[in-house]
Amino acid sequence: MKVVSMNQPCYIPWYGFIERVAMSNIHVIGDDKQFVKSEIQTRNRIRTKEGVRWLTVPVEGHSSWKKINEVQIADTDWRHKHKATLKAAYKKARFFDKFWKNYESILNQDWVSLSSINIAIQNQLLKDFGIDNQLVLGSSLKIDGTRGDYLFNLCRELDADAYLTTAKAKAYLPEDKFAQAGIEIIYHIYEEEPYTQMYPGFEPFMSALDRLFCTGKPKSTEPQEILNTIKTYRI
C-alpha cells in the first residue's frame, strides 16, 4: 500500500510530524501553501529550566499574503539567540553532544528563505531519527485545486492507495471523491508517549529536538509496521 502524507515546512517541528513521515511512503513538503503568521511555520516549543518556551523566527512584513516558499527572514540576530537558548536548555541532556553539531551548523548559516531553513532542519531531524522515506516538494508538482480538492489531486498524481492526515482534515476532505477513486483516508491521532525530559514532570508536544536530545532513540522506520501500532482510524 502506497501511503502519501503532506505537511507544511515548520520550524523545529514536533515529533508528531516525524511519526507521520515515518508512516508514509511519500511525504509531500507543502512549501507552496499559504503562509500563516504566528503558527508553527515560524515557531515551536522547547522545554527550559524556567518552563516551556517558544522559539520564533522573525519574518519580513506583509508575509501573510505570500506562499511559504516566498517568505523571507527579517534579520540574523535570532539565530544566535536560538543557539544560546537551545544550548542552555539541553547541554546536559544525554544525547546533546551526539546531535547538536548538526543543528548548530544549520543555525550558523545566513538563511534568507523561511522554507529553506525549515526544510533543512526537518531533513536533519528525519535523518537523526533514522527515517529516509521519500520526500517531494509540493512546488515541484504543480497541483491544482484548494484544500480538500488539492489533496485529492495530489493523491491521484502520486498514485496513492491511502492519504494519511490529521483528524482536523475531516472538516474539508471530500471523502466521497477519495472513496470513489479507491483512495483510503487514514486519520492519524498523535498521542505523545512520555519520555524522560531534562526537568521534572512531562511536557507533551515539544519540538522533536527535545525527544532527540533526551532519548536519542529512533523508533521503527517501516511504514506498515508503524501504521499497525499507532492509533489511527480509517474511513
Predicted pLDDT of residue 22 = 92
Per 3-state DSSP, what percentage of the chain is helix, strand, and coil (rounded to 5)?
Answer: 40, 20, 40
pLDDT > 70: percent of the chain: 92
Q: Which of 140, 104, 114 is nearest to 39 (CA)?
A: 114
Lowest mean pLDDT segment, chosen from 91-95, 143-147, 179-183: 143-147
**Residue 154: domain span:** 3-234
Predicted pLDDT of residue 224 = 52
Lowest mean pLDDT segment, chosen from 106-110, 116-120, 154-158, 223-227: 223-227
Whether the CB-CB separation of 31 and 9 falls below 8 Å is answered with yes
Residue 190 grid cell? 498523535
DSSP 61: T
Q: Write out pLDDT tens, residues 39-88.
A: 899 999 999 999 999 999 999 877 678 999 999 999 878 999 999 999 99
Predicted pLDDT of residue 37 = 81
Q: Which 3 state secondary structure label does DSSP give 59?
A: strand
Q: CA 179 → CA 92, 161, 232, distances in Å?
A: 50, 11, 18
pTM: predicted TM-score of the whole model, two decimal places? 0.91
Number of domains in the chain: 1
Predicted pLDDT of residue 225 = 54
Q: Please report which confidence band the pLDDT of residue 189 belongs to, taking 50, 70 and 90 as the band edges.
A: confident
Find where cell 498521542 sits: 191
Predicted pLDDT of residue 164 = 96
Residue 141 grid cell? 508538482
Predicted pLDDT of residue 232 = 54
Q: Please report which confidence band the pLDDT of residue 192 belongs to, taking 50, 70 and 90 as the band edges.
A: confident
Under 8 Å CB-to-CB from 40, ≥6 apart: which residues? 10, 11, 13, 14
Does 19 or 96 have the greater pLDDT score? 96
What are the b/e assignments for 134-144, b being 16+ CB within 10 Å?
Answer: ebbebbeeebe
